[in-house]
Amino acid sequence: MEPIIRIDKLDYSYTEKHKILDQIDLEISSDEVFVLLGHNGAGKTTLIRILLDFLRGYKGRVEIFGHSPDSEIGRKRIGFMSEQPVVYDYETVSGYLNYFADLAEISDKGGRIEELLELTGLVRHREKKLSQYSKGMLQRLNLARALLNDPDLLIMDEPVIGLDPLGQDLIEKVVISRKKAGKAVFINTHAVSFAAKMADRVGFLMGGRLKKIFNREEFEKGTFPYVYEISCPNDEVYEKFLAEFEMKEKEELMARFVVKDVDESEKLLNMIVSTSSRILHVAANQEVLEKAFLEYSADLSLEDRAR
């Protein structure tokens, strides 16, 4: 299968002494969620700008859907959610989305806009001026705009920054639905936990270099520790768990316990059943990516982390 994104030996510099991207090789397929992790200033947004033809003058090969970034054929199949949405304060959400739908030559723009307003929860705010929108609402609008053309490739630059839990949940649901529909998603972020949760593959971009690419199997397969988020019927039961397992965090109606191996996991599950407790969530793998990210970071000087 032909990759949606193909990058070979990509170099980009602002000046001869200021190299931003250094020999980047990357291929991304359809039906894939690829997350690029990196520090602020590592070159993540620069790479996106090249993919979107916002920046030129690079060296190497960059193709999207088999065409160069300046090809209109490829552009029509891309949606872009920027980190900072650009809006017109005097406009309403309906007017804003209509404007971009016209630019994208969307035939049934009315139906598509209604669908996206429902998806993003902006229906009841449709006639508000954008100057009245909160940062979270603007990010929802930003997402709706990116999805107008039902893109085959959705590019997202720091999509969860500034969002409350409901907003983050919306982003996650959109990413999952795109993948299920056979679409590709390319995400830039420095949120390791978000990457661990959503990605099929994770790449570490540091000092302008793509240091490592992890497949999901590498940071998921049977990897401990696991964190079980459970709800217990009363404090007495919580104390029983606390006597047996390491507690990571406790709130009023739930606690998170860490298990380090298969035996501990089996023991915890048996105790959950015998005490009529409930599993609310199971999290793994974040520690694996976090540890790897920190280890790679430790090898970089402060100057190299952000070129």
Q: What is the pLDDT of residues 136-169, one digit of tens each?
A: 888 899 999 999 999 999 999 999 887 788 888 8
> Does residue 161 sit in the same domain as residue 14?
yes
Is position 297 within any domain?
A: no
Tell which wins on pLDDT, 124 or 15.
Answer: 124
pLDDT of residue 300: 65
Is the pLDDT score of 67 beyond 80? Answer: yes
Question: Percent of the chain having pLDDT more than 90?
Answer: 46
Is position 275 within any domain?
A: yes
Is position 306 within any domain?
A: no
Tell which wins on pLDDT, 306 or 164.
Answer: 164
Q: How many CA atoms lie within 13 Å of 159's alpha carbon, on the beta-carbon side?
A: 30
List Cα–Cα distances, 273 to 229, 237, 269, in angstroms: 14, 12, 6
Which of 78, 77, 64 has its CA nearest to residue 10?
64
> Does residue 240 sit in the same domain as residue 181?
no
**How does the average pLDDT of the chain come out, rounded?**
87
pLDDT of residue 304: 55
Is the pLDDT score of 36 beyond 90? Answer: yes
Per 3-state DSSP, the chain is made up of helix, strand and coil in percentages (nearest 5) of: 40, 30, 30
Is position 44 within any domain?
A: yes
Is the pLDDT score of 182 beyond 60? Answer: yes
Q: Are 292 and 214 in contact (CB under 8 A)?
A: yes
> Pick from 186, 214, 242: which residue ends a domain?
214
> Does residue 12 sit in the same domain as residue 102?
yes
pLDDT of residue 307: 52
> Does residue 200 sit in the same domain as residue 68?
yes
Is the pLDDT score of 133 beyond 60? Answer: yes
Which of 154, 96, 93 has its CA nearest to residue 118?
93
Is the pLDDT score of 170 beyond 80? Answer: yes
Is position 299 within any domain?
A: no
> Does residue 20 sit in the same domain as residue 168?
yes
> Does residue 73 sit in the same domain as residue 112?
yes
> Does residue 246 sit in the same domain as residue 198?
no
> Does residue 22 sit in the same domain as residue 157?
yes
Predicted confidence band of residue 285 (pLDDT cuts 50, 70, 90): very low
Is position 303 within any domain?
A: no
CATH number of the domain within which 108 lies: 3.40.50.300
**Burial per residue of 191-220, b for 16 or more beta-carbon CB atoms within 10 angstroms, e otherwise:** bbebbbebbbbbbbbbbbbbbbebeeebbe
Residue 161 belongs to what domain range? 5-214
Alpha-helical (H) ranges within 154-191 are 165-180
Give CA–CA dist 24/41, Å, rounded: 16
> Does residue 31 sit in the same domain as residue 163?
yes
CATH number of the domain within which 268 lies: 3.30.70
pLDDT of residue 47: 95
Is position 302 within any domain?
A: no
Rounded to two decimals, the pTM is 0.77
The CA dihedral of 132, 137, 141, 143, to the nearest 10 degrees, is 160
Give the pair of three-digit tokens for residue 91: 């406009």
Q: Taking residues 255-263, what's their average pLDDT?
A: 84
Q: Are 219 and 53 in contact (CB under 8 A)?
A: no
In a 3-state reduction of DSSP, which class is residue 224? coil
Is position 82 within any domain?
A: yes
Is the pLDDT score of 284 beyond 70? Answer: no
> Does residue 148 sit in the same domain as residue 258?
no
Q: Are 285 and 220 in contact (CB under 8 A)?
A: yes
In DSSP notation, 70-129 reads T-HHHHTTEEEE-SS----TT-BHHHHHHHHHHHTT-TTHHHHHHHHHHHHT-GGGTTSB
> Pick from 183, 214, 245: which residue ends a domain?
214
> Does residue 79 sit in the same domain as residue 172?
yes
> Does residue 52 sit in the same domain as residue 193?
yes
How many distinct structural domains can be found in the chain? Answer: 2
Give CA–CA dist 63/50, Å, rounded: 10
